[in-house]
């Protein structure tokens, strides 16, 4: 049974974001950074932030994206939600093993681009794929997406959020050999401008892609469990004596 994709004309509902606009307003209204992190934990549904390393790193990553959107790029609230959702999707894609991605993904397969490939979206903006320092081992069960594959995912999402069709950046051979499904809108916000795209690309290149191997290592290595044995004293009551052996005591 094949799943039918909804047509863009029929689907007029706004795409969902990682957190709601009300939660973002509560987060911005917080006074200190600790309160903002606590609000973000509540919005993301994280309950074990101090004890779970994976959850704490994910929350810190989302917190950094929101700080960049508000302080550095000065994005509007709807664009901040769009960027946060984009960052979460990129993080989830990059930290999932390839075996999981192949079984769960029903979309078009992404082909890694050369490290020196340049994609021009405007006269003043160029999206340049970062050079991978270490290649992902191919054919292993715990292999993760390479830097090039993760950057291709990021590139398509940021171009879609900027109103640039992804088919325009594919080569003619890729367009002929690949049947591309229509991409749903990534956000109800207005498209990112060229200046905002340049800031976002610089931010992700200098932060997320620089530490991508660390994120993948954290997802690949299982957490160590500590077993502690604590003696516990349990008092068992004595069995009651038979009623026939009972004696009457005078007061």
214-218's contacts with Cβ under 8 Å and 24+ in sequence apart are 215/57, 215/61, 215/91, 215/94, 215/95, 216/94, 216/95, 216/144, 218/53, 218/54, 218/57, 218/95
Please tell me the distance from the alpha carbon of residue 144 to that of residue 102, in angstroms, as a whole number.
Answer: 11
The three-state secondary structure class of 51 is coil
Please tell me the distance from the alpha carbon of residue 76 to that of residue 81, in angstroms, as a whole number.
Answer: 9
Listed as ranges, residues in the chain with pLDDT below 50 are: 1-13, 106-124, 131-139, 168-169, 171, 173-188
46-50's contacts with Cβ under 8 Å and 24+ in sequence apart are none
pLDDT score recorded for residue 221:
82
Run of H or E residues at 121:
strand 118-122
* Cα 80–chain centre separation: 15
pLDDT score recorded for residue 57:
94
Please state the domain extents for the chain: 21-224
pLDDT score recorded for residue 61:
96
**How far, CA to CA in Å, does 226 sit from each of 47, 79, 181?**
20, 43, 47
Please tell me the distance from the alpha carbon of residue 35 to that of residue 176, in angstroms, as a whole number.
Answer: 51
pLDDT score recorded for residue 191:
86
Residue 61 region, left (φ>0) first, then alpha (ψ -120 to 50), else beta?
alpha
Question: What is the pTM (predicted TM-score) of this model?
Answer: 0.64
pLDDT score recorded for residue 8:
40
């Amino acid at each position: 049974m094949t799943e039918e994709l909804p047509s863009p004309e029929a689907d007029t509902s706004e795409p969902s974001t990682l957190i709601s606009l009300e939660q973002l307003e509560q987060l911005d209204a917080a006074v200190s950074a600790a309160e903002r992190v606590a609000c973000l934990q509540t919005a993301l549904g994280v309950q074990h932030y101090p004890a779970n390393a994976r959850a704490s790193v994910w929350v810190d990553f989302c917190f950094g994206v929101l700080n960049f959107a508000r302080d550095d790029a000065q994005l509007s609230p709807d664009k901040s939600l769009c960027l946060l959702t984009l960052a979460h999707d990129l993080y989830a894609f990059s930290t999932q093993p390839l075996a999981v991605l192949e079984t769960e993904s029903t979309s078009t397969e992404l082909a890694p681009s050369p490290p020196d490939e340049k994609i021009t979206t405007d006269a003043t903006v160029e999206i340049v794929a970062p050079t991978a320092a270490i290649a992902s081992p191919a054919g292993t069960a715990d292999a993760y997406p390479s830097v090039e594959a993760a950057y291709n995912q990021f590139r398509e999402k940021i171009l879609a959020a900027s109103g640039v069709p992804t088919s325009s950046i594919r080569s003619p051979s890729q367009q002929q050999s690949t049947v591309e499904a229509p991409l749903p809108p990534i956000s109800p916000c207005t498209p990112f401008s060229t200046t905002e795209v340049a800031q976002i690309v610089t931010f992700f290149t200098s932060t997320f892609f620089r530490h991508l191997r660390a994120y993948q290592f954290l997802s690949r290595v299982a957490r160590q469990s500590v077993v502690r044995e604590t003696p516990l004293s349990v008092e068992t009551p004595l069995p009651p004596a038979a009623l026939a052996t009972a004696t009457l005591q005078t007061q």
